[in-house]
Structure formats: structure tokens, C-alpha cells
Amino acid sequence: MRKPIWRYFRNIKNKLIFGHYGRDVYIFPGGRILRPQFIWIGDHVRIGKHAEIFARPGRSRSKEYLLEICNNVHIGSHNIIGARRSVVLEENALLGPGVIVLDHTHQYENVEVPIKDQDVTEGPIRIERDCWIGANVFILPNVTIGQHAVVGANSVVNRDIPPYTLATGAPARVIKQYDFDLKKWVRVDGQGSLME
């Protein structure tokens, strides 16, 4: 099936305004991307309907990429992804609908100053290759989600998730881990030890 001619022209425009814009990228209707010059997009990427993606550099003359979306990444509808420091979505990452990924958060400690006027805390986020992030997950700053990890729907991720694990909850904790010797997923107890 041939692609509509308007997609061809839109991709030419996007190649000019993004930091990098790969082949076969499709941004569904209603997607909103702010400051695309700080965003690197690889090949075969899909960005769902009404996703909002933005980059906000700390230095006005910065040339660095703040958000890197690698090859074959799928970003679901109504996602919010905000990068002030660094957000990396590695190859084949799959984000369900309603996922929020923010590498920054407001400080709140000074009760004499409105929270919206206080400084922002920043920390990098990396979602490694082959991860699946379920619907309505919220990922906070200073987090790495390891390769082929799964985060269950409605979870809040505020610490690293090891590779080849399944984590759920608010805050998210590991409940399963892939055992390469047994070649199957095995339950994990509250202390991170494998259960028989």
C-alpha cells in the first residue's frame, strides 16, 4: 500500500526541524512535539494520537539532544514525555497509552514560595531495549529500566528496575524475574529473592 503524498512532504519538513529524523516515522494526528531540534528520532518509530513530547534545554544555546527515541520504538496515545536533562528510549521499547515520562520534578520544600516558582530537580531516564511499559505508568527522574523489563499498568517508577523483570505497583517493585537456567519467569519475594 502506497503512503499518502502528504506524509512524504511532512517527513521532508520534519527532517529539517528535528535534530535527527529517521526513516518510516509516523506521528499520529493530534501529536504535539515542542522544540524538535533537541529530539533525535530513529527509524520505524510510531508516536500515538495526542501524545505530547517536549524538550526544554537548561542552556538556550544548547545543541545537545535531550530526548533520544531509537529505532522501532512505539509510543502510545496520550503519552507525555518531557526532557530537560536526558531521556533515552532504546530500540524496540513499547509504551502503552497514557504513559508519563518526566526527567524533572518541582521542589516543594520551601513553604514560603509557591511550588510552581521553586527550582526543578532533574535526573536522567533510560528505558533500555525491548522494554514494555504498561498503560498509565508514571516514570520519575533518575530511573533506568533494564533490558526486556516489563512495568505493569498504573505503576509509579521511582527507582531502577533490573533487566528481565516484571515490576508493578506504586511505587513499582519487582514481582517476577526471568530465570535463564530454568528458562521461565519466576516469582520474587518482597526482598528480591526467588521463590520456589
- Give me the pLDDT at residue 61, please: 62
Q: Which of 12-26, 56-70, 102-116 has the lowest mean pLDDT?
A: 56-70
Asked if 20 is an active-site residue, the reply is: no
Would you say domain 5-187 falls under CATH 2.160.10.10?
yes
Q: How far apart are CA 172 and CA 137, in angstroms?
A: 10
- Give me the pLDDT at residue 19, please: 92
Of 91, 99, 102, which Cα lies nearest the Cα of 142? 102
Catalytic residue among 44, 78, 106, 148: 106
Q: Where are the domains of the chain?
A: 5-187
Per the prediction, the chain carries an average pLDDT of: 91
Q: What is the DSSP string of 89-112?
A: E-TT-EE-TT-EEESEEE----TT
First-to-last alpha carbon distance for the chain, in angstroms, is 51
- Give me the pLDDT at residue 179, please: 95
**119-178 pLDDT tens trace:** 999 999 999 999 999 999 999 999 999 999 999 999 999 999 999 999 999 999 999 999
Q: Residue 14 — very low, low, confident or very high, per pLDDT cuts 50/70/90? A: confident
- Give me the pLDDT at residue 40, please: 97
**51-87 pLDDT tens trace:** 999 999 876 666 688 999 999 999 999 999 999 999 9
- Give me the pLDDT at residue 65, please: 87
- Give me the pLDDT at residue 12, please: 79
Q: Which parts of the chain fold into alpha helices (H)?
A: 5-17
- Give me the pLDDT at residue 16, please: 87
